[in-house]
Chain A
Amino acid sequence: MTSTISKPDQERTHPKDKFKLYGLALGGLLAGLLLGWLTISLLSGTLVFGSPSFHGTVIGSPAPMSDFTLTGHDGQQVRLHDFRDKVVLLYFGYTYCPDVCPATIAELSKAMKELNSKDREKVQVLMVTVDPDRDSPEVLGQYLSHFDPSFLGLTGTDEEIAAAAKPFGIYYQKKDGTVETGYLVDHTATVATVDKDGYLRLIYSFSTPGEDIAADLKRLAKD
């Protein structure tokens, strides 16, 4: 007898329901905006979950890199394994090269200047000559000290240099230049990064800015 014809609550256009509707719309809009922002940020790389990515190409050798023995520009015997506990930036080049080699070494020098003294002590730049006939230890030393006195130049016999280059996939080949230039050397112009435990971690392609390299070094120096 009592209100048998009353409608169920949810079917009434109660003022409360109106608020619910607005709330739902607003919530949907916000969710859409958030989803869109996340998608764009993730796609464009401005938002990264977990640890930030490295600037170099991540390699990750399955085992520590094999050792090599070369001669430092100071005449001392130098082995790669001497630098365990340091991050090693390894570059193969030659001082007669006027364009790509100084451009690369200058970026490495810029990267070192970006580091604080504590991190800098944890990093060693090594340049192995692919032109041992023209790059005597003295020439290498003078060349590198222009960029950074801590950089170490390495040379050796043809066999020693080839043995050092091979595990890093470094190619180099002498070729004829002009009468004025004499021979030139084609070579892989990348920089290999070996971490404190001796694993190959990153490869930098030519023209990677020193600032980007420094950002990676700060992380590897603390690992």
Chain B
Amino acid sequence: MKSSLVFILCVLIGLALVACQPADQVDLVVTDIWGRSSPASAENAAFYMNIRNTGRVQDSLDSAEIDICDSTQLHETNIDDDGVMSMEHIMKINIPSGETVSLEPGGFHLMCLGLKSPLEAGEEIPIKLSFAETGELQVQAEIREG
């Protein structure tokens, strides 16, 4: 009898511990952040990355800032069945709980407008990402050979 009481108590304590974790916990892991080295004449550039949400609540990437660009927008490229590509300015990129969202060529990307100087292979470019839940994250993009 006594031992079963102890058992029930332990179960309750365990439940309480789990419940005490913040309900809105978001955990974002940003990897593989890169851009392509750019021609001297290029006025803009794209940046890519993988964003993994290991938390329990959906987050969204709302904006990004890159110092070497006059402005940075979130864009999505779509390619239809006839191979026609179309690029759209989007307001946010949702990062659902437990999923990895890839920003990659031919899909989501950070569109850097008004590139102030060409991107050189090997260079590291700081990017400030702003998420609805997580807030700001400072990351470094690696510039790869075009």
Contact = CB atoms under 8 A, between A and B. Distances in A.
Interface string A199-216: 000010111000000000
B106 A207 contact: yes
Question: Chain B's interface: helix, strand, loop or mixed, by majority?
Answer: strand
Contact of A99 (B37, B42, B83, B105): B105
B13 interface: no
A181 B39 contact: no
Contacts, number: 98
Nearest to A106: B146
Given A171-B84, A189-B85, A181 B77 contact: no
Interface string A140-151: 001111110000
Contacts of B79: 100, 189, 206
Given A98-B45, A178-B73, A180-B113, A187 B84 contact: yes
Interface string A91-115: 0000111111011011001000000
Given A95-B39, A106-B146, A181 B73 contact: yes
B75 A99 contact: yes
Interface residues of B, number: 32
A38 interface: no
A98 B87 CA distance: 10
A213 B118 CA distance: 28
B83 A189 contact: yes
B83 A95 contact: no
Contacts of B70: 180
Interface string A171-201: 1000101101100101111100000000000
A95 B83 CA distance: 19
B83 A102 contact: no
A106 B71 CA distance: 25
Name the residue among A102, A190, A206 with the largest chain B CB count within 10 angstroms: A102
Interface residues of A, number: 35
Given A95-B41, A99-B77, A177 B36 contact: no
A142 B40 CA distance: 7
Nearest to A205: B83
Name the residue among B84, B85, B89, B146 with the largest chain A CB count within 10 angstroms: B85
A186 B71 CA distance: 22
A176 to B, nearest CB: 10
B111 A98 contact: yes
Nearest to A140: B41
Contacts of A35: none
Contacts of B114: 180
Nearest to A104: B105
16 contacts: A95-B41, A99-B46, A100-B79, A102-B36, A105-B146, A109-B146, A139-B41, A146-B37, A146-B38, A171-B82, A180-B71, A180-B113, A181-B89, A186-B85, A203-B83, A206-B83
Given A95-B41, A146-B37, 11 more contacts: A97-B87, A98-B45, A98-B46, A98-B112, A99-B77, A102-B36, A102-B46, A181-B89, A206-B85, A207-B105, A207-B106
Interface of A: 95-100, 102-103, 105-106, 109, 138-139, 142-147, 171, 175, 177-178, 180-181, 184, 186-190, 203, 205-207
For the complex of A and B, 9 pairs with smallest distance between CB atoms:
A146-B39, A103-B105, A142-B41, A189-B85, A98-B46, A186-B86, A190-B83, A143-B39, A98-B44
